[in-house]
Amino acid sequence: MLFKLICVDLRVNVSIINRIRLSAQFFLMDYSFIDFLTLVGSLGMFLYGMKIMSEGLQKVAGEKLRGVLSVMTTNRFTGVLTGVLITALIQSSSATTVMVVSFVNAGLLTLAQSVSVILGANIGTTVTAWIISLFGFSVDISTFALPLIGMAIPLIFSGKSKRKSWGEFIMGFAFLFLGLDYLKNSVPDLQHNPEILAFLQNYTSMGYASLFLFLALGTIFTIIVQSSSATVAITLIMCTKGWIPFEMAAAMILGENIGTTITANLAAIPANVSAKRAALAHLMFNVFGVCWVMVLFYPFTRMVGWIVTTFGPGDPYAMTAFLSTLSPDVISEITSGKTLTDESLIGLQKQMLSLQISVSYGLSLFHSLFNITNVLLMIWFVKFYVYICSKLIKSRKNKEEEEFQLTFISSGMLSTSELSLMQAKKEIAVYGDRCYRMLTMVRELYYEKDDNQFLSIYGRIEKYENISDRMEIEIANYLTHVAEGRLSSESKEELRVMLRAISEIESIADSCNNLARSIKRRNEGKSTFTDEQNEHFNQIISLVDRALLQMNKVLHLQEPAHDDINPSYNMEHEINNYRNQLKLRNLEDVDNKKYDYVDGVYYMDIISECEKLGDYIINVMQAIVEKKF
């Protein structure tokens, strides 16, 4: 018995030693820290290229994208097409889904509409893999990268913002493929270290356990990199170099479909309930899709292999078997990029290039077929997704508490600089609505006789004023964060106007609070106004009420017209003229002993504050209409 235990212990120790030896071999292989930094830098260039390419396109078509999203989501099918179109254009499903979550948060899309767009985004993101397959492996596009940068430079330094945006798009496209080329050439040479390759192979032949392992690897990698396009590119490279077989690469791509949902879910954490539901629907859609395809994984991948073999360049499964027949030296020769003279090596090089194209086509087709089939299945369950998400994430019961939070924006919701401005506009409109509620409370306070009720209303006005101060700071911080991104010159002007508008709206809230204080001082001084004074107050506060309603109406417009400011100018003149009349009338009434001088002071404090409030309203109108924000 003791002998058996010793033998088992020895076998375990040998296994551990072998794993340690393989791990040590990995770190001792001919791969320096500089090589590792080169690999990270290559990935960084790829990601940076994709980022500026996406941002450039969004700046060119920002307004059109907003229009497409708002118009083309009338039903689930047009919603899917919208998601495909936008994601294919901006080359980022994460950007599309974050944008959709933001639009749901802003009330521009319903939850059902957002689910349809997200379904389409999953198809649109497969375009990246096809671009890499068509150009990254079959064409040496890195040779065109520098000429593309040469084309982009004059556009970037152009005076027109649209040309700059096109320049950024071209520059990003060039960087993307330069990064991909460097990525292919800077991965470790595992062929000269067959023990390491064998170590990887130990985890590729465990059936479904291997599939789940590589699925988890793809998910974790995408969460870390925050770009499914980058992880798909890396998966393509790993498979075309023979590190992992075709099935394991396909499992990684499934994991990347789950990992890409994390971005939208992180963005939705500080958002409202509807945005959280949209992000959850995205996660559920991708998880359910992966579940059904895992059940049919092997038949599904064999079907993809048959399609690529029959109608495409060749068998995507053949790469692993081909590499197993070659020595590490031969593999290094045919992948070195040097000009070969040996006919046999040239033949092997062509064969390997053909197999690499087959593998990349196979993985791209797998990615596309999975997402298209998943959409065709799940599009009929949009209402079910909405129902489940609504049950899992319930609306808050405390409406008052929710009311006093930012409704449409938060620091976590920032998606792209251009599109984030819309959320800020919606929030500014809410800011104006809250100021109007303050004015309504002031009118109620003016006539309140019950002391307890008076103090309750006064406390609510003070609370609203504190909220107003907080809103100004939070919106300003959000706009400052937006300004750190790339903005067109028009958007920079919009941002400056918004900052001015929120400052003036905060002054409106301060003025409402000052009115409440003046009314409180009147009551504390035991002053009583005459019926005539009350009637004059009613008239001037009604003019202010109309002016504030007109301001809020314009704030809610998508594109305010210059004529929208004319009624506000008329009301501002009425308020000023009426204040001047009441000022003269007050002096006469005090002289005629209609009421005491102290009563006249309290009265004119209120009237003068109403006139100031009108000034702040017209300042907001001038900002948003005359500057056309």
Q: How many domains does the chain have?
A: 3
- End residue of a domain, out of 337, 366, 392: 392
387 and 414 share one domain? no
Check residue 504 and give its pLDDT: 92
Q: Does residue 153 sit within a domain?
A: no
Q: Quick one: pLDDT at residue 535?
A: 93
Count CB neighbours of 151 within 10 A: 15
Asked if the structure places residue 514 within a domain, the reply is yes
CA–CA gap between residue 128 and residue 131 (Å, rounded)? 5
Domain boundaries, position 20: 1-35
**Burial classification of residue 521, based on how many CB atoms lie within 10 Å of its CB (0-12 exposed, 13-18 middle, 19 or more buried):** middle
String of DSSP letters for 230-296: HHHHHHHHHHHTTSS-HHHHHHHHHHHHHHTHHHHHHHHTTS-HHHHHHHHHHHHHHHHHHHHHHHT
Give the C-alpha separation, 623 to 629, whole Å.
8
For residue 499, pLDDT over 80 is answered with yes
Indicate whether 329 belongs to any domain: yes
Quote the Cα angle for 289-295-297, to 5°.
85
Residue 28 pLDDT grade (very low, low, confident, very high; cuts 50, 70, 90): very low
Render pLDDT for 453-496 as a digit per residue (tens, 0 to 9): 999 899 889 888 888 888 888 888 888 888 777 677 777 888 88
More confident residue, 378 or 31: 378
> CB–CB of 217/180 below 8 Å?
no
pLDDT at 7: 46
**Mean pLDDT value across residues 520-531:** 90
Let me know whether 483 and 613 are in one domain. Answer: yes
Which pLDDT value is given to residue 368?
86
Whether residue 382 sits in one domain with residue 427: no
Based on the domain organization, do 478 and 519 belong to the same domain?
A: yes
Residue 72 and residue 14 in one domain:
no
Give pLDDT, residue 89: 65
With a cut of 90, say whether residue 116 has pLDDT above it: no
Please tell me whether residues 482 and 576 are part of one structural domain.
Answer: yes
**571 in the same domain as 423:** yes
* pLDDT value, residue 405: 57
Q: Which pLDDT belongs to residue 194?
A: 45
Looking at the predicted structure, is the pLDDT value of residue 604 above 90? yes
Determine, yes or no, domain membership for 424: yes
- Domain presence at residue 149: no
The residue from 392, 417, 438 where one domain ends is 392
pLDDT of residue 190: 46
Would 212 be classed as within a structural domain?
A: yes
pLDDT at 19 over 60: no
- Asked if residue 257 lies in contact with residue 289, where contact means CB atoms within 8 angstroms, the answer is yes
Q: Taking the complete model, does pTM exceed 0.85, yes or no?
A: no
For residue 605, give the CATH number of its domain.
Answer: 1.20.58.220
Co-location of 307 and 438 in the same domain: no
Indicate whether 475 belongs to any domain. yes
Q: Are residues 409 and 388 in the same domain?
A: no
Q: Please state the rounded mean pLDDT for residues 306-324.
A: 81
What are 117-164's pLDDT values in tens digits?
A: 888 887 877 776 677 666 655 555 566 777 888 888 888 887 777 788
In a domain, 216, yes or no: yes
Pair 353, 474 in one domain: no
Query: Given CA atoms 162, 164, 167, 168 in this order, what sign does their dihedral have?
Result: negative
Residues 425 and 302 in one domain: no
Name the residue among 403, 407, 312, 326 with its Cα closest to residue 359: 312
Mean pLDDT for all residues in the chain: 77
Are residue 376 and residue 418 in the same domain, yes or no?
no
CA 352 to CA 241: how far, in whole Å?
9
